[in-house]
Structures are given as structure tokens and as C-alpha cells.
Amino acid sequence: MSRKTRVLVVDDEKLSFKLLEQIFIKEDWESFWAATGSSGIEMAKLLEPDIILLDLVLPDKNGFEVCAALKENELTKDIPVIFVTSRNDREAIVKAFEEGAVDFVTKPFFLEEIWVRVKTQLKPKQYADELKEKNEQLSLLAEKLQILSLTDELMLIGNRRAFEMEIERVHNQAVRLHQPYCLLIADIDFFKKFNDYFGHQAGDRVLRTLGEIFKNSVRSYDFVARYGGEEIVVILPQTDCPDGMRIAQRIQEEIAKKNIVHPANPPHNRLTVSIGLSCFKPDNPDFSYYEVIRKADQALYQAKNAGRNSIRVFREE
């Protein structure tokens, strides 16, 4: 449920507030009183009222100064301010509107007049608040959709599109900062036979498990994505080949701990992955990320030829 309408009265005369309070009670609004300009400004920041009724003559600051301060603050700049004061000269009225007031009422006032003027100013404020809330909701939704568009819904890691965006970003950064990085491409050994043996639902469960293993086996700033049906890629920024090899070994060790039965993967008879590793070296800036991908893919081919469940760093054959 939305909160009640809030009205802040900034006036050093409590009698004025008590008179105005009759309107607020009748409308079931929440009302607050500040006797000085400074306290009025602080209460406005804290309460973020829907409207402020402001006297011109106050003990510490005049109403013009208070209004100007409210309009300069991000929390209070959109709150409508109505001056309610005994001054009615042209100079005061013009100055009030120059400082950002939306209306000007002179004392003594009729409660009915105040009620109408407050109601008139609350409507656009409420519309603006609703529009702001809807825009925030749309922004959140757009952000969620963006995340979903870059996420593999089964493995809950990045998808191919996300990988292509990230590898380009990491590569350009490595060239600019003269840093190395590594790319792993892992392939589940005989995964089609696993699906044929246990069924696709079991295969999906394995993919979800592997997504978790890969995410938990790498560092917070590394990037994991599903590259193809049973291929997973890992981008390792600021990493040389020896460190990349250690991370690849850790991934294989964590998969081995799960001891997932795979009868169609002899001689291991459990689920394994083959991993190809390629490294970008900053002393060769003309080396494109397409070449990094190609070499990691070639290293994966070499790992499979070596009997699977193995890791190979790219070597020219």
C-alpha cells in the first residue's frame, strides 16, 4: 500500500499550523511542523513530503532562502512549495516564484482556499511520482532482460553472445594495458553417449552441475560461458599460461570430486572434460582474439586426441 500524503508546514507560528491541520486531519493526511527554516529543510530531506507550506518570515532564514535551498537539493527539488505569508506585495510574490514556489497565499487565509490550492498542486506531484516509479520499474525490467539475454538459461552462465562481447572487451583491455590473458575451451567427453545412455533430462542436470563447478572453480573476475552444446569457455584476464594451466587443473579436479558415473566413457567410467588452453601475450599485440579462440579450439582438439580427460596448451603441430 502507498503511504499517506505528507504535508510539511514551515511556520514559526504554531497557531497557523493548528488551523491548517484541520484540513489535513479531514483528508487523512500526515502533517508535520517546523518552526524554523533550518529545521524545515532538514525535515523535508528526512520526510520527503508531498507538499510544503512555507512562511516567508522565520526566526533564522527567510522563506526565500529556505525555498532556494530546497530546490538545490536532489531529495527535495521536486516537492511543490506554497508560500503562506502575511506579505502580499508584488516584490515578495515575484521573488517567491523566482525561487521555485508553485503558489502564493496571503494571511489571513480561508481554509477552503488553502485546501483547493494544495489539492491542485498535489495532483501533478502525484502523477510525477507515479511516472517516476513506473520508469524505475521499466529500468529494472530492462536490466533484467539484458541479463537474461546474455545468460544461458540451463547452465546459468554466460551464453555465446555474452562470450563474444566479453572476449573482445578483455582482449582490447589486454592490448591497451599490455597484459596477458588466457582462454580455456572445455568439452564434455562423450556427452552425446551420456545423453543416449541416461536420457536428456539427466544430461541437463549434469550441465547445471558443471555450470556451478566452473563458476566456483574460477576467480570472481573470470568469465564463464556456454560456447556450444557441451562446450564451456573461460576467459582468464591478467593470466599467463602457467596460471591458466593451474585453473584448468582445478576445474578437472572439482569435476572428478563429483564422481558422476559415465559408463560410455572408458576407461574412466565417470564424467570428464577435455580442455584446450591458449594464451595471449602482450608482446604480440597484432594477435587478434579470433586467433586466441582458434588456438584454444585447436588445443582442445589436441587434448581429445591425447585420450580425453586431459589439458593441452596450444602447440603448433
Q: Could you list the active site residues?
A: 230
Sequence length of the chain is: 317
Number of alpha carbons in the 13 Å side-chain half-sphere of residue 89: 5
Q: What share of the chain is helix, strand, coil (3-state, %, to 5)?
A: 50, 20, 30
Cα-based distances in Å from 56 to 10, 11, 164? 9, 8, 61
Helix (H, G, I), strand (E, B) or coil at 252: helix
Distance CA 157, CA 203 (A): 16
Beta strands in 29-94 (DSSP E): 30-34, 51-54, 81-85
Distance CA 280, CA 184 (A): 12
Pairing of strands 51-54, 81-85: parallel
How big is the CA angle at 21 (ends 16 and 27), to the nearest 5 degrees?
A: 150
Cβ(158)–Cβ(226) below 8 Å: yes
Distance CA 302, CA 244 (A): 17
228: burial class by Cβ within 10 Å (0-12, 13-18, 19+)? exposed
Distance CA 24, CA 10 (A): 15
Cβ(300)–Cβ(276) below 8 Å: yes
Distance CA 88, CA 56 (A): 11
Side chain identity at residue 238, one-letter code: Q
